[in-house]
Amino acid sequence: MIAAVFLVAALLLEPAPLSFGMGVRPDAPDYVLRVPLPPSERAVDLPKVEGPDDSSRPLVVIDPGHGGHDPGASGAGGLKEAQLTLTLARALREELIGRARVRVALTRDGERFLTLEERSGIARRLGADLFISIHADAAAEAGARGATLYTLSEKASDAVAARLAARENRADTINGVALKEQSGDVAAILLDLSRRQTFERSTTFARLLLREGAGAIRFRDEPLKSAAFVVLKSPDLPSVLFEAGYISNAEDAAGLTDPAAQERFARAFARAIEAYFARTRGT
């Protein structure tokens, strides 16, 4: 009954020129029945690309995880994952701009919410050559600390990776309702990606970051893992997800919010990015 009332309320009757079609009597007023429809889905605005004014230079898209109504994980002192990832992404962007070797864009440069598919979609629409999604973790275990690098795989490398992917993939839901349905061929894409050059290049970058980050970024004992992250699913875009550390760990949180540590993080990432493109593009 309530649904019927809302439907009737949504119908808008307005006068129209006299018409003799559809069985309307010539002496009767004519009406056009309009049913308001939701606006068609529009692609999100593309961010600004910064760096050298040269479209031949590689483009790196950095994705600060979470944002808007989704603050992500929480840490001591009210630290929010969405706030921290944006700070780290901005630090990396400024380092890359200063080095002037690659172009760079951020999926978000403020507190706006993006679905997981919109994030990777921005990178693909911009024609990115590398996609880096930055996150931070939280855990009940007091000893959980250190950074982790994830690449895409259909099957998680371990149970911890599987749980993390499940948590991050829930960013596309509100109160259990999916914001965007995955297409039916996602599983096929994931399987295909594991056999293609894209997966190899993602792993290449991850290993270069482990090398360049030694001494600058505190990694976990086994830092390279894989899982089925939705945000990494693009079949033709090398992508990694970087968990910067555990904001639930006081020592990790202090390091991640330290400006000097953020500079070391940015320089290590920039060196790895330049080494990656030197290896894959000869630039």
pLDDT digits (tens, 9 = 90+) for 82-112: 999 999 999 999 999 999 999 999 999 999 9
254 and 204 share one domain: yes
- Between 172 and 46, residue with greater pLDDT: 46
105 and 204 share one domain: yes
127 and 189 share one domain: yes
Confidence of residue 259 (pLDDT cuts 50, 70, 90): very high
202 and 266 share one domain: yes
- Element at 32 (helix H, strand E): strand 31-34
Q: What is the CATH number of the domain that holds 170?
A: 3.40.630.40
Between helix 259-280 and helix 197-213 the angle, nearest 10°, is 140
Count: domains in the chain:
2
Pick the range with the lowest mean pLDDT from 40-49, 189-198, 213-222.
189-198
158 and 23 share one domain: no
pLDDT beyond 80 at 225? yes
Residues 6+ apart with CB under 8 A from 132: 60, 61, 62, 63, 92, 239, 240, 242, 269
* Residue among 178, 193, 272 nearest 228 (CA): 193
User: Is there a contact between 266 and 92 (Cβ–Cβ < 8 Å)?
Assistant: yes
DSSP-assigned letters across all residues of 132-158: EEEEEE--SSTT--SEEEEEE-SS-SS
User: d(Cα 168, Cα 115) in Å, to the nearest integer?
Assistant: 11
Per-range mean pLDDT, top range of 158-162, 177-181, 250-254, 268-272: 268-272
pLDDT beyond 70 at 150? yes
126 and 67 share one domain: yes
pLDDT beyond 90 at 2? no
* 144 within a domain of the structure (yes/no): yes
What's the distance, Cα to Cα, between the start and end of the chain in Å? 66
25 and 80 share one domain: no
22 and 114 share one domain: no
266 and 197 share one domain: yes
26 and 155 share one domain: no
* 47 within a domain of the structure (yes/no): no
- Between 128 and 189, residue with greater pLDDT: 128
Instruction: Classify residue 172 by its DSSP letter.
Output: G
Other CB atoms within 10 A of residue 1 CB: 4
Tens digits of residue pLDDT in 73-90: 998 778 999 999 999 999
User: Is there a contact between 110 and 121 (Cβ–Cβ < 8 Å)?
Assistant: no
Mean pLDDT of 133-147: 89
User: Is there a contact between 219 and 145 (Cβ–Cβ < 8 Å)?
Assistant: no
* 123 within a domain of the structure (yes/no): yes
* 76 within a domain of the structure (yes/no): yes
User: Is there a contact between 204 and 210 (Cβ–Cβ < 8 Å)?
Assistant: no
SS (H, E, C) 210-240: HHHHCCCCCEEEEEEEEECCHHHCCCCCCEE
* 213 within a domain of the structure (yes/no): yes
Type of residue at 156? A
Residue span of the structural domain in which 142 resides = 59-175+185-280
